[in-house]
Amino acid sequence: MSQASLDDDELFGEAATEMRDDVEASLADAWGALPDADDVWESDADNVLGALNGLKSALDAGDAEDHLRDAKKWFTMGQRADAFDDADDLEEEIEDLEATIEDISEASEQVGELTSTVPALRSALESADEDTDESDD
């Protein structure tokens, strides 16, 4: 292909297609990096604290945030360059992914709080039981 056969519109069109492909690939990688639903739902733990620790480990968005960042970077660049004919689907998917990652993060924080609260609660209840037993004697 000679230089003369490539005009600016053709090159821009190719670049726009590649940019959209990059955004879609990054979004797919981000969705794939999210925790597996079964890992969040099922537990093999023997007690509540074990279940909470397992859940906290499962609630890790991992590389999904990095892939989302890449998708947003290429999406923003493409949008500003007016490279996308129709980007509503990409924008909606980015928003859905952001919301999902935010939900995972919030759930992880809540589980983290419970992980520290439950042992203290157990200890307080055991002390209350001991005090009750001593009172009964």
Domain boundaries, the chain: 7-136
The one-letter code for the residue type at 64 is A
The pTM for the full model equals 0.82
For residue 35, give Cα distances in angstroms to 49, 55, 61, 92, 104.
Answer: 20, 10, 6, 21, 9
Model confidence pLDDT, tens digit, residues 3-62: 555 688 888 888 899 999 999 999 999 999 999 999 999 999 999 999 999 999 999 998
Model confidence pLDDT, tens digit, residues 79-121: 998 888 889 999 999 999 999 999 999 999 999 999 999 999 9
